[in-house]
Amino acid sequence: MKHVVSTNKAPGAIGPYSQAIKANGFIFVSGQLPVVPATGQFAEGGIVAQTKQSLENVKAILAEVGSTLDDVVKTTVFIKDMNDFAVMNNMYAEYFIKDCPARACFEVARLPKDALVEIEVIAICK
């Protein structure tokens, strides 16, 4: 059985999808753009600020079901420019410190609203 997960502490879906779906003991979090929920605008400060905001949005959605970043088993990072990988990775490493999840990272031609990064995760549900 699946359940839609939603919180106003992260940006709302802007299309026919959910912020996340809880199913079979996991939560599948849709790709999170670096949108600051209070303003609806991207975090300012380039790839560092955008990576941080994307992960803060992920954290807020996970918290809605009682999970944390420690419960994440897989992430996918979509990045506009692979030249930003090292900087993105340094910020990412501040959020995933030990027992890090599996990860894939792809450079993409374009992200929604011309974001620099988008991050999706799969985590264990508490």
What is the distance, to the nearest Å, from the Cα of residue 47 to the centroid of all Cα atoms in its chain? 14
Instruction: Provide the terminal-to-terminal Cα distance of the chain, rounded to the nearest Å.
Output: 16
Instruction: Tell me whether residue 100 is one of the annotated catalytic residues.
Output: no
Burial string for 38-68 (b: 16+ CB within 10 Å, else e) reads eeeebbeeebbbbbbbbbbbbbbbbebbebe
CA distances (Å), 29 to each of 5, 68, 73, 81, 118, in order? 9, 12, 12, 23, 11
The single residue of 87, 105, 111, 124 carrying the catalytic annotation is: 105
Active site (catalytic) residues: 105
